[in-house]
Amino acid sequence: MSFVEYGDTIKDGDTAIVFLGHESMFPVKVQHGTVTQTKYGVIRHSTDLIGKKYGSKVTCSKGGWVFILHPTPELWTMNLPHRTQILYSTDISIITMMLELKPGSIVCESGTGSGSLSHAVIRTVAPTGHLYTVEFHQQRAEKAREEFREHGVEHLVTVTNQDVCKNGFGVSNIADAVFLDIPSPWEAIGHAKSALKAEGGRICSFSPCIEQVQRTCLAMEEYGFTEINTLEILLRVYNVRTISLQTPDLGKAAEDNSSTAFDSSNPSNQGSPCANLQQGTVQFKSGVPLREMVGHTGYLTFATKS
């Protein structure tokens, strides 16, 4: 199992996603002799998981069932253990695009945090690229190394435990892109410039406060970065549902015409949209935005090394 290479069957030691529903799933480490409790009953790893194909429908001890999915960066973002605040798919998607990441890219990142963005970057730059990620907190850095090893991507990432604002990324003039998610990104702009390739490298800074953005933009200008721009991504989800509306009263003439044009007793008309007309109402599908939506997460500031 690897987060960048898909396998067919579940093996001992794999990380798998137990899917109970769109709003209910969790990761599990597959091990011989281990059981996992769910609301539908027990899943026995030795008999129910190991050797089965990913995507299989597994029946639990109480008769309910779940799907066992192959892990992906998207699923991991939704289910990972939170050691810090994380980036979600909405911001991650624009970051990977605006930094122009592709297979073979060299990327520097700070800080590693819970590894949400890290997994997405690794999948994007594989199989020949590399991620150099710096984490200030020692225990978080060690946990990130352990997860990368368990997920089969340790050959694509180097985790360093140090202060990026003082010591930089540990590499020079090789990175195609740099990402900063730290409290004072303006203090690391100089090190980011040193890590980037000679010309054309891209940088992105994620900050929740506009005051951080202002200081970071000033530092970018000072170090000669160009094409500086800041944006904010807001996700608005639409809910598709069936609604009923009353049909308008267009008068007796219109009623006569409609009865002539459509006869609900005629078998050839069964199943048509007009067959749903009951007691002066019509049903149709409508998309409406949710009453609540995810608000501000952070500002993304992008720039190019001149």
Q: What angle do CA 294, 300, 302 make, to 5 degrees?
A: 155
What pLDDT sits at residue 183? 96
User: What's the average model confidence in pLDDT over 3-16?
Assistant: 93
What pLDDT sits at residue 277? 44
What pLDDT sits at residue 291? 81
In this model, does residue 124 exceed pLDDT 50?
A: yes
Q: Do 94 and 232 form a contact (C-beta atoms < 8 A)?
A: no
What pLDDT sits at residue 278? 46
Nearby residues of 256 by Cβ (< 8 Å), 6 or more positions away: none
| Domain at 75-234+295-305, CATH from 3.40.47.40, 3.40.50.10860, 3.90.550.10, 3.40.50.150 | 3.40.50.150
| Domain at 9-71, CATH from 1.20.810.10, 3.40.50.40, 2.40.37.10, 3.10.330.20 | 3.10.330.20
pLDDT (tens digit, 9 = 90+) per residue, 79-114? 999 999 999 999 999 999 999 999 999 999 999 999
> Which positions make up the binding site?
114-117, 135, 163, 181
Q: Do domains 9-71 and 75-234+295-305 have the same CATH topology?
A: no
Nearby residues of 227 by Cβ (< 8 Å), 6 or more positions away: 302, 303, 304
pLDDT (tens digit, 9 = 90+) per residue, 230-278? 999 998 888 888 888 888 777 665 555 555 554 545 555 555 544 444 4
Domain ranges of the chain: 9-71, 75-234+295-305
DSSP helix/strand/coil, 257: helix
> Which positions make up the binding site for S-adenosyl-L-methionine?
114-117, 135, 163, 181
β partners of residue 239: 288
Q: Which residue is listed with tokens 């608005």?
A: 236
